[in-house]
Amino acid sequence: MRKSMNKPQVEFLEFSGMTYQDAWDIQTKYHNELKSNKVAWRDLTEQQRKEKRQLHRMIFCEHGHVYTLGKSGSKDHLLLTDDQLASKEIEYFKINRGGDITYHGPGQITGYPIFDMDEFYNDIHKYVRMLEECIIKLLEEYNIVGDRIEGFTGVWIKSDQKGKPDRKLCAIGVHMSRWVTLHGFALNVNSDLSYFSNIIPCGIDDEDKAVTSIQQELGRKVDMEEVKVKLKAIFASEFGFEYVV
């Protein structure tokens, strides 16, 4: 693929079935690489830095069953004991992203953009809104109206029926260091939603809030590969980057 010097360059990586720790190690490796480049290049001229463009990564994972707790979360929101986690073969990690507790597992696309935001824009709130926007645009492809709810991060389907709760379809939790991003989003495509009953998802314990998936909303299983292809293209379009091979 011919590179455009006007667009950030992103390598796409995909993993399935690996442990959460292995995925976190891979993220951390690329995260540290981008940060190290920024330090090594800081004495260069602006033109020289432009010639040494960063290679960003977009990682899609389909994890085994795991609960992750963000730095602002409470372990009280995990409703299983350590023995119960072990018996159900569910991993648990306390990590350095924002947000509270969530679930990752088969049928879910967990996306990790490892971006040096100096090549995009330096605005963490805009970055989170852009992640949400990409998911909202994906849902449009399936005639699902995704939305935001004030005070709650992520993408939701607002209640349109009396007695039916707002449903969260995608959780978002990020971390930035030297304007390099880590962690990202968790999109429920064909997820087994019963695993969310073992936690208070994202610390939200409201009767009018629930968790859902694309499969649940459509009443049918969705082709994961199709979703990934659509999502990859939407991210490139919305963030204005191109994938490299």
Q: Mind telling me the catalytic residues?
A: 202
Cβ-contact 156, 166 below 8 angstroms: yes
Cβ-contact 35, 81 below 8 angstroms: no
Cβ-contact 23, 114 below 8 angstroms: no
* Alpha-helix runs per DSSP H in the chain: 20-40, 46-51, 82-87, 124-140, 214-218, 224-239
Q: What is the dihedral of CA 213, 218, 221, 226, to 10 degrees?
A: -90
CA–CA gap between residue 49 and residue 6 (Å, rounded): 13
Which is nearest to 115 in space by CA: 241, 244, 229, 245? 241
- Please report, in angstroms and rounded to a whole number, the separation of the first and last CA atoms in the chain: 7
CA–CA gap between residue 199 and residue 216 (Å, rounded): 19
Strand partners, 184: 173
Type of residue numbered 104: H
138 φ, ψ (degrees, to nearest 5): -60, -45
Tokens of 111: 């996306």
